[in-house]
Amino acid sequence: MPVNVLFSARAGLWENYEDPLLTALNEIGVNVNLSRNIPPCDVDYVVFAPNGPVSDFTPYTRTKAVLGLWAGVESITGNTTLTQPLARMVDPGMTEGMAEWVAGHVLRHHLGMDVDICRADTGWQPHIAPLARDRQVGVMGLGALGSACAKTLAGLNFDVLGWSRSAKDIAGVETFSGPAGLDEILRRSEILVLLLPLTDATGNILNARTLGLLPGGAIVINPGRGPLIDDAALLEALKTGQIAHATLDVFRTEPLPPEHPFWAQKNVTVTPHIASETRPISASKMIAENIRRGEMGEPFLHLVDRKAGY
Ligand code: NDP
């Protein structure tokens, strides 16, 4: 009997995922019926993205797990019909992409690349950046993505500080945890990278108080989630110079509405939620591994803790 796997994501993703998923499931030895149309009562696994056709999981009575294509799960954790185990996406391709994006934007600000690019109107203005070893970079969130970014930055010689809910030990990274560690990492982060999930505990974590703890002229880089930051407090800090620049990939409303003041603020860089994408080939291997585990009765990887919200 084949394993029935329902693919439920927005139109267009099926074309990207059908072949990689079939290949990965075949390679791992799962006999599969992969389709976008399977009666709910026959579905063994749902490969899921929040913008697809399934939002009521009540009829999926025999479904062993819902396997997310997204790393962020804040739009799913509140779905009370979803009582099946929920695994989020931890994709080596996405992790690699995020480390590259974060390193690129940290280096832009660290080196002062915008200042260094000579233009006819600004002229020849040499300035020497400090070495990375003399630059303190904080990474808030040390999960799959944050820890990879922290390691990459440490590999570039930055003085890296990291913060998470539970204590962590990462070579080359000075780590802090819990509420007690928050103020210290903020006080020392000249460049701050946000890679926290959005939960009840992390919304507005960067607010007037916490922005005020950062060293004057700090840089904020947010590829995490828009609501991690109180927009009004950030705009105020950008105007006073407490924050010299913010590079923002994620927003409360996406696409960022044309009237949002971030567009007009000169020391804000907006990128369109592209910091890192799930890569179909590597992500399909993760999905296939979880289906194999489900079939063998082994624990699923990357299960979401509904109480913690991530
Ligand atoms: P993980 O769940 O692996 O890691 C989350 C990290 O945040 C963990 O270190 C966790 O601590 C920490 N954390 C959670 N809550 C708190 C808290 N209250 N206080 C302190 N630390 C906390 O997530 P990922 O690394 O995979 O992804 C992080 C986020 O990145 C996603 O949730 C998503 O929002 C965003 N993202 C953005 C993308 C983009 O293109 N812009 C692409 C993909 C993801 P602990 O280790 O103790 O559990």
45 Cβ contact list (under 8 Å, min separation 6): 3, 4, 5, 6, 63, 64, 65, 66, 67, 290, 291, 294
Active-site residue, selected from the candidate residues 88, 135, 225, 279: 225
Q: Is 260 a catalytic residue?
A: no
Alpha-carbon distance of 83 to 290, in angstroms, equals: 17
Task: Look up residue 77 and give its amino acid.
Answer: T
Q: Which CATH architecture has domain 93-270?
A: 3-Layer(aba) Sandwich (3.40)
pLDDT of residue 75: 93
Alpha-carbon distance of 304 to 310, in angstroms, equals: 5
∠ CA 259-260-265, rounded to 5°? 115
Rounded to the nearest angstrom, the distance between the alpha carbon of 202 and the centre of ligand 1 is 10
Index of the ligand 1 atom closest to the CA of residue 164: 21
From first to last of the 310 residues of the chain, give the pLDDT tens digit.
999 999 999 989 999 999 999 999 999 999 999 999 999 999 999 999 998 999 999 999 999 999 999 999 999 999 999 999 999 999 999 999 999 999 999 999 999 999 889 989 889 988 999 999 999 999 999 999 999 999 999 999 999 999 999 999 999 999 999 999 999 999 999 999 999 999 999 999 999 999 999 999 999 999 999 999 999 999 999 999 999 999 999 999 999 999 999 999 999 999 999 999 999 999 999 999 999 999 999 999 999 999 999 9
Q: Is the CB of 228 under 6 A from ligand 1?
A: no
Whose structure tokens read 């289906």? Answer: 291
Q: In what order do the strands lie in the sheet with 32-35?
A: 32-35, 3-8, 45-48, 65-68, 86-87
Rounded to the nearest angstrom, the distance between the alpha carbon of 203 and the centre of ligand 1 is 12
Rounded to the nearest angstrom, the distance between the alpha carbon of 250 and the centre of ligand 1 is 14
Rounded to the nearest angstrom, the distance between the alpha carbon of 84 and the centre of ligand 1 is 22
225 Cβ contact list (under 8 Å, min separation 6): 72, 74, 196, 197, 198, 250
pTM: 0.97
Q: Is the CB of 195 under 6 A from ligand 1?
A: yes
Fold assignment, 3-91+278-296: Rossmann fold (3.40.50)
Helix, coil or strand: residue 3: strand
Alpha-carbon distance of 137 to 161, in angstroms, equals: 6
Q: Is 109 a catalytic residue?
A: no
Q: What are phi and psi of 246, to 5 degrees?
A: -125, 130
Parts of the chain belonging to CATH 3.40.50.720: 3-91+278-296, 93-270
Q: SS3 helix, strand, coil % of the chain, rounded to 5? A: 35, 20, 45
pLDDT of residue 122: 85
Substitution candidate for ligand 1 out of 196, 250, 277 with most atoms within 8 A of CB: 196
Index of the ligand 1 atom closest to the CA of residue 201: 18
What are the Cα distances from residue 120, in Å, to 109, 125, 127? 22, 11, 17
Residue-by-residue DSSP string for 179-245:
HHHHHHHHHH-SEEEE-----TTTTT-BSHHHHHHSPTTEEEEE-S-GGGB-HHHHHHHHHHTSEEE
Alpha-carbon distance of 281 to 296, in angstroms, equals: 23
Active-site residue, selected from the candidate residues 36, 260, 273, 302: 273
